[in-house]
């Protein structure tokens, strides 16, 4: 691999300055980049689909010739490109919205492979926004189709020719295989040279499947080796706090709740407490659906620190959420006492404080002094917790809520508020459920706890999709009915102000219209990110106390806002939101004992957006939705910051390769148990270092 990486693409015949520049534009700069630039799909010319055989509503792939290309501008900044294609059996229309470059990419007479879903428009067959690859006049039984950029001017046949040359010129020396024999035998994997040859030049369709399995395992094994090695290195170097878990504080807390813990809560609290007793700092991700009871787990973790004489801190991304947490935690702990430090027998109330940018003057000074002296047991706040001047006497437990809303450095800064001698334990929480295999990959160096059970008594939320003007009118009538019953409502919009670029109703325009029209006579409030912190808190207080009937807001209310009397959520232009965000918003209702509903307004949703809305209507299970989300948008956006290295997960799919993720993690753990620094697997270690950037693992560990 290192040899291939050291050779530029210019070493291949036919790659001059212009082609090298085109390849660089799609991040293909070395021979290794080309060798690991795998085909996106294959055309089996012995079993090739024809246009006449396509079925309505079914995704299909055909090879065809371009007959015509027509481009026009639509209102706003939108565009439409219509392309006519044909084969010996029939004709087909391709329609591309907002892809004006298709006009330059496609021209009459070109051979193309088209992949998309067939539908009908005004009686004519068409595909809307299909994937199109330029293949040229390819021959052979099985033709690989490579990912291309139409803007780069590259064609499949060129890439295929260059990859053929790499494989041909490698035959004499051979391509080494650093994966141990016992692992290849365990999983019935072919050798790497054969796999690379068969993925690019398969003789049968079965051959490319076998090749893919081998190369997927390689990618996932490298990734898991990197993550586990990094985690173990940090654990060896870091000194944590051995928390005293023999105290009664956590038991007294759970006994005072007035409701039993779910089995999942009991299990996860056990995992957290067991971690906290170890001499290495805990790094644990707690994921649980909206309403699954993560706050109780977080409080139990902080109390474990407090009963040993340490402090806990909980950082939330917004003042609204920090205040919500403070009110909730203070209520949960109001009758709890802890031993007083100045007496063996005396006890004192447990002290909880709120610190945000709203905390000013004498109150801020008092809180900072009390944190530094250890008088405050649990601090809850926003970024204010990590500002200069805020110090802790003995910070033992850090909880970060909605961890994806914070920058890496902000999370690290809170952890750094602990003692220089011993690092505090860290629990990061998310209410955005992550599929198991994605969690094992993205957070492969963290321990993951999952609350996969809902507390009894949570009210099911009925979800409907309003597709027409009549449907929408019914929704506003339903809001009026709920308010008439003494309940409250949320209305969420995607934008604060009108935008020409995005045709979505703004929160201010919606607020004004609803006041004057559909919800006239009701008490309507407005909340968005451009209000000052004091204004936001004032509006939320009015809503919490019932002085506002309907709160029109942006996604500032997405997480943590808890008003049990709110029973209906209306999401305007719901097709503009992702699945996770829609699910989070829906979770703001159904928090009391009244039947609740969520109404998705989206008259024009098509394609993936429509699939998202259908998924929301069909299930309220966040983990089912996370899997659906992964299916709909792929893992690129799930991996987020980690998707920098293009040799990272080129071929492996967290959707299709769930078993391989588990097997690779098991294999990596076994190898490192036996050989912690991969000294006996030098070539594999070199490959891990070559293909995976250190920053990736550093990013995750800071998280």
Among candidate residues 619, 643, 674, the one where a domain is terminated: 619
For 568-593, what is the mean pLDDT? 88
692, part of any domain:
no
422 shares its domain with 537: no
Statement to judge: residues 305 and 357 lie in one domain:
yes
Query: Which of 81-85, 245-249, 341-345, 455-459 has the highest mean predicted lDDT (pLDDT)?
Result: 81-85
**pTM greater than 0.85:** no
List the domain range (segments joined by +) for residue 139: 41-145
Distances (CA, A) of 479 to 445, 482, 511: 46, 5, 14
Neighbours of 395 (CB within 10 A): 26
Residue 54 lies in a domain: yes
- Model confidence at 501, pLDDT cuts 50, 70, 90, reads very low
Residue 426 and residue 472 in one domain: no
Same domain for 365 and 494: no
**Residue 108 clears pLDDT 60, i.e. is over it:** yes
419 and 484, same domain (yes or no) = no
pLDDT at 192: 96
Position 542 pLDDT exceeds 90: yes
Report yes or no on 634 lying in a domain: no
Q: Is the pLDDT of residue 499 over 60?
A: no
- What pLDDT shows up at residue 436? 66
- Contact call for residues 478 and 292 (beta carbons, < 8 A): no
Closest to 302 measured CA to CA, from 425, 213, 485, 133: 425
- Least confident range from 140-144, 254-258, 322-326, 543-547: namely 140-144
Whether residue 565 sits in one domain with residue 477: yes
Mark whether 562 and 501 lie in a shared domain: yes
Whether 679 maps to a domain, the answer reads: no
Same domain, 306 and 392: yes
pLDDT tens digits, one per residue of 176-226: 999 999 999 999 999 999 999 999 999 888 999 999 999 999 999 998 898
For residue 694, tell me if it sits in a domain: no
**Same domain? 347 vs 496:** no
The last residue of one of the domains, among 619, 641, 672, is 619
**Shared-domain flag, residues 418 and 469:** no
Out of 576, 602, 619, a domain closes at 619
Q: Are residues 388 and 486 in the same domain?
A: no
**From start to end of 387-439, where are the E strands?**
395-400, 425-430
Query: Using the 8-state DSSP alphabet, how is residue 52 labeled?
Result: G
Number of folded domains that form the chain: 3
Instruction: Flag whether 556 is in a domain.
Output: yes
Residue 549 lies in a domain: yes
Residue 408 above 70 pLDDT?
A: no
Write down the pLDDT at residue 379.
95
Tell me: do 544 and 422 sit in the same domain.
no
In this structure, the strands spanning 41-44 and 142-145 are: antiparallel
Q: pLDDT band at 535, cuts 50/70/90?
A: confident
List the beta bridge partners of residue 90: 87
| Contacts (Cβ under 8 Å, ≥6 apart) of 35 | 4, 163, 166, 167, 196
Q: Judge whether 645 lies within some domain.
A: no
Name beta bridge partners: 380.
Answer: 314, 354
433 within 8 A of 626, measured Cβ to Cβ: yes
Query: Where residue 47 sits, what CATH number does that domain have?
Result: 2.40.50.140
In this predicted structure, the answer to whether residue 276 has a pLDDT above a threshold of 80 is yes
């Amino acid at each position: 691999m290192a040899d291939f990486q050291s050779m530029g693409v210019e070493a291949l015949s036919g790659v001059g300055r212009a082609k090298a520049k085109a390849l660089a534009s799609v991040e293909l700069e070395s021979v290794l980049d080309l060798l690991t630039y795998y085909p996106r799909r294959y055309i089996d010319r012995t079993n090739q689909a024809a246009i006449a055989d396509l079925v309505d509503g079914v995704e299909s792939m055909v090879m065809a010739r371009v007959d015509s290309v027509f481009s026009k501008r639509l209102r706003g900044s939108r565009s439409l490109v219509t392309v006519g294609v044909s084969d010996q059996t029939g004709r087909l229309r391709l329609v591309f919205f907002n892809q004006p470059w298709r006009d330059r990419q496609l021209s009459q007479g070109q051979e193309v492979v088209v992949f998309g879903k067939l539908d009908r428009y005004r009686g004519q067959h068409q595909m809307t926004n299909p994937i199109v690859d330029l293949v040229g006049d390819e021959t052979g039984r099985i033709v690989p189709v490579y990912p291309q950029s139409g803007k780069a001017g590259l064609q499949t046949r060129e890439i295929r020719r260059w990859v053929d040359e790499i494989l041909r010129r490698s035959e004499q020396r051979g391509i080494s295989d650093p994966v141990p024999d016992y692992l290849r035998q365990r999983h019935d994997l072919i050798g790497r040279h054969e796999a690379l040859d068969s993925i690019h030049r398969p003789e049968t369709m079965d051959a490319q499947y076998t090749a893919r399995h081998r190369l997927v395992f390689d990618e996932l094994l490298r990734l898991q080796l990197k993550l586990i090695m990094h985690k173990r290195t940090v654990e060896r170097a870091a000194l944590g706090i051995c928390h005293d878990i023999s105290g009664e504080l956590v038991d007294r807390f759970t006994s005072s709740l007035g409701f039993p813990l779910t089995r999942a809560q009991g299990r996860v609290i056990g995992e957290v407490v067991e971690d906290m007793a170890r001499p290495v700092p805990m790094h644990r991700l707690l994921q649980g659906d909206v309403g699954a009871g993560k706050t109780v787990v977080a409080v139990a973790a902080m109390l474990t620190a407090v009963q040993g004489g340490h402090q806990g801190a909980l950082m939330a991304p917004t003042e609204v959420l920090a205040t919500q947490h403070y009110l909730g935690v203070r209520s949960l702990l109001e009758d709890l006492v802890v031993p007083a430090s100045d007496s063996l027998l005396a006890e004192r109330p447990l002290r909880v404080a709120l610190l945000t940018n709203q905390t000013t003057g004498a109150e801020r000074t008092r809180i900072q002094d009390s944190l530094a002296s250890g008088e405050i047991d649990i601090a809850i706040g926003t970024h204010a917790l990590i500002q200069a001047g805020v110090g802790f006497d003995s910070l033992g437990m850090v909880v970060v809520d909605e961890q994806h809303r914070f920058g890496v450095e902000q999370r690290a800064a809170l952890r750094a508020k602990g003692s220089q001698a011993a690092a505090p334990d860290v629990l990061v929480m998310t209410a955005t459920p992550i599929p198991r295999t994605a969690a094992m990959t993205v957070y492969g160096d963290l321990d993951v706890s999952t609350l996969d059970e809902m507390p009894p008594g949570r009210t099911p939320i009925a979800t409907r999709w309003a597709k027409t003007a009549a449907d929408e009118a019914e929704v506003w009538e339903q809001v009026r009915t709920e308010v008439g019953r003494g309940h409250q409502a949320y209305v969420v919009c995607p934008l604060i102000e009108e935008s020409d670029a995005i045709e979505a109703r703004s929160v201010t325009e919606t607020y004004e219209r609803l006041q004057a029209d559909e919800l006239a006579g009701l008490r309507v409030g407005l909340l968005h990110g451009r209000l000052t912190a004091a204004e936001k808190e004032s509006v939320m207080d009015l809503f919490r106390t019932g002085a506002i009937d309907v709160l029109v807001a942006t996604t500032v209310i997405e997480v943590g806002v808890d008003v049990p009397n709110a029973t209906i959520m209306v999401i305007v232009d719901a097709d503009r939101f992702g699945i996770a965000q829609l699910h989070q918003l829906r979770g703001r209702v159904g928090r009391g004992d009244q039947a609740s509903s969520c109404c998705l307004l989206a008259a024009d949703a098509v394609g993936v957006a429509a699939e998202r809305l259908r998924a929301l209507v069909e299930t309220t299970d966040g983990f089912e939705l996370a899997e659906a989300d992964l299916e709909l948008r792929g893992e690129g956006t799930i991996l987020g910051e980690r998707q920098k290295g293009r040799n990272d997960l080129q071929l492996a799919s967290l959707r299709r390769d769930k078993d391989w993720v588990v097997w690779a993690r098991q294999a990596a753990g076994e190898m490192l148990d036996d050989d912690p620094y991969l000294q006996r697997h030098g070539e594999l270690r070199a490959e891990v270092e070559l293909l995976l950037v250190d920053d990736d693992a550093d990013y995750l560990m800071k998280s």
